[in-house]
A = this chain, B = another copy of it.
Amino acid sequence: MHSVKPAYATGWEVRAAARAGEWTEPTRGLAPGYLQAGLVAVPRDLAYDFLLFCMRNPKPCPIVDVTDVGSPEPRRAAPGADIRTDFPGYRIYRKGVVEAETTDIMAHWHDDLVGFLIGCSLSFEWALEQAGIGMREKHEVRGNPIYVTNIQCAPSGPFEGPMAVTMRPVKGSQVADAVRVTAALPLAHGAPVHVGSPDSIGVDLKHADVNAPLPLEPDDIPVFWACSITPQIIAQRVKIDFMITHSPSKMFVTDLKIGSV
């Protein structure tokens, strides 16, 4: 893990570093103000069911871009980019099991795949900070704790299962502002899906499913936003035949400014 966060200013710079193999860590805090996105790539015959899953579950799966069948270029989000190389890390899922973790997917890509870019909540941390809502440990290169909840997604075809969330501690006096700021950013998951009372969504804060837990300080309220890792949780549970995704917290940084979309 890098101890110092590099000063990438734009999505292009992060993607170039990822493509060159110079950045293989989480993208938290990089290129402030740019929309970050996760990946789900599936074969064409699963693409309709997955797209409909996203439409039915816009909180965990806000669609930022969809590539044409076989094309690795996300023309809306980052013209000229290549989703096969421009993430810092990928996972190859086969029948719901992570078969490989890689830093590019050139060897796994084929002409029948469709790539979906799903907005990520790392995008809005900058907006929260602009509103005076500090992110704890923001200078660390690490991902936020992620939990699998008991909230069920609306199913579509084989895609059926629970929603995953990220947790950020927010001071009680700032919860309303955190809701207001993020509600305006639907492509970054929008408003929280839950505030406080982790028990009632089946979450034990001490046991994160991904990344390390973050202990609460006095007056910290745990605030939960839907997470773009949800399709991976579902792929694991229903054993989707083949799916390529980003590695958790290692996102594609688009050319889109978060406030513009």
A binding-site residues for B, Cβ under 8 Å: 47-48, 51-52, 54-56, 63, 66, 76, 154
Contact = CB atoms under 8 A, between A and B. Distances in A.
Contacts of A55: 51, 54-55, 63, 66
Counting chain B CB atoms within 10 Å of each CB, the highest count among A47, A54, A55, A56 belongs to A55
A160 to B, nearest CB: 13
Contacts of A56: 66, 76
A55 B64 CA distance: 9
A47 B156 CA distance: 14
A13 B63 CA distance: 35
Nearest to A51: B51
Main secondary structure on A side of the interface with B: helix
Contacts of A47: 48
A47 to B, nearest CB: 6
Contacts of A76: 56, 154
Given A48-B51, A52-B66, A55-B63, 11 more contacts: A47-B48, A48-B48, A51-B51, A51-B52, A51-B55, A54-B55, A55-B55, A55-B66, A56-B66, A56-B76, A76-B154
Nearest to A55: B63
Contacts of A54: 55
A66 B57 CA distance: 12
A63 B56 CA distance: 9
Nearest to A58: B63
Shortest Cβ-Cβ A-B pairs, 8 listed: A48-B48, A51-B51, A55-B63, A52-B66, A47-B48, A51-B52, A55-B66, A48-B51
A254 to B, nearest CB: 15
Contacts of A154: 76
A256 to B, nearest CB: 14
A51 B49 CA distance: 10
14 contacts: A47-B48, A48-B48, A48-B51, A51-B51, A51-B52, A51-B55, A52-B66, A54-B55, A55-B55, A55-B63, A55-B66, A56-B66, A56-B76, A76-B154
Nearest to A44: B48
Nearest to A49: B48
